[in-house]
Chain A
Amino acid sequence: DAEITQSPRHKITETGRQVTLACHQTWNHNNMFWYRQDLGHGLRLIHYSYGVHDTNKGEVSDGYSVSRSNTEDLPLTLESAASSQTSVYFCASSRGTGGFEQYFGPGTRLTVT
């Protein structure tokens, strides 16, 4: 069965370190997304990609970057982790925009100390 996976599921890091969160999907979807989930804010879009070598900034992109070298993967990098980036991060993919649903991974809980 097709799926979307994230690793690690839990991560503790120190302020100032670079951190990369992995996202891998086997749906063969062109569109991939990264969100962060914080209490009271719902899900906020960090970055998204509509295909290989395409990346776009979302609503809360400062301090994050992504690259898309193949269809299956969209890693999220925190260049210099800050305590404000402590959150739960979700990766999602979809076949298209508009009426197409997004499929979500299980999430990565990141703590920056």
Chain B
Amino acid sequence: GDSVTQMEGPVTLSEEAFLTINCTYTATGYPSLFWYVQYPGEGLQLLLKATKADDKGSNKGFEATYRKETTSFHLEKGSVQVSDSAVYFCALSGSNDMRFGAGTRLTVKP
């Protein structure tokens, strides 16, 4: 079945460092891909999405490109801030339910 694999954390960075969180997927057909973010004590909220190959999703300085040839959707940000500390989930949605990765905890230190 469909599945998502994302890099294990935790990830600790200094403020203004470059961030990459890897995400690869296995799916039949042409799924939509998402990144969600979860701040402490809250539910998940959509960060960005891409619905077809070569699409780039972007929001709040984060970007991810839907790469069909490598079945990947890596999350990047050029300069992280302390306020970006959270858990990040990669997810895919095919014709039915949504599948989530295990989550990557990011801590950004001043």
Measured CB to CB, the residues of A under 8 A from B are 33, 35, 40-43, 45, 48, 58, 90, 92, 97-102, 104-107
Contact = CB atoms under 8 A, between A and B. Distances in A.
Interface in B13-27: none
B34 A58 contact: no
Given A43-B89, A106-B42, A101 B102 contact: no
Interface stretch (B67-75, B76-84, B90-98): B90-98
B58 interface: no
Contacts of B44: 43, 90, 92, 102, 104
Nearest to A41: B102
B94 A45 contact: no
Q: Considering the complex of A and B, which 9 residue pairs feature the smallest CB-CB distances, nearest first?
A: A104-B43, A42-B102, A99-B32, A99-B51, A43-B100, A101-B46, A42-B100, A104-B44, A106-B43
Interface of B: 31-32, 34, 41-46, 49, 51, 89, 93-98, 100-103
A48 B95 contact: no
Grouping DSSP codes into helix (H, G, I), strand (E, B) and loop, the B interface class, with mixed when no group exceeds half, is: loop
A48 B41 CA distance: 23
Given A98-B93, A98-B94, A42 B46 contact: no
* Residue picked from B43, B44, B49, most chain A C-beta under 10 Å: B43
A99 B43 contact: no
Contacts of A107: 42-43
Interface of A is mostly: loop
Residue with the highest number of chain A CB atoms closer than 10 Å, among B34, B45, B97 = B97
A40 to B, nearest CB: 6
A65 to B, nearest CB: 18
Contacts of B43: 90, 92, 104-107
A112 B46 CA distance: 30
A90 B100 CA distance: 13
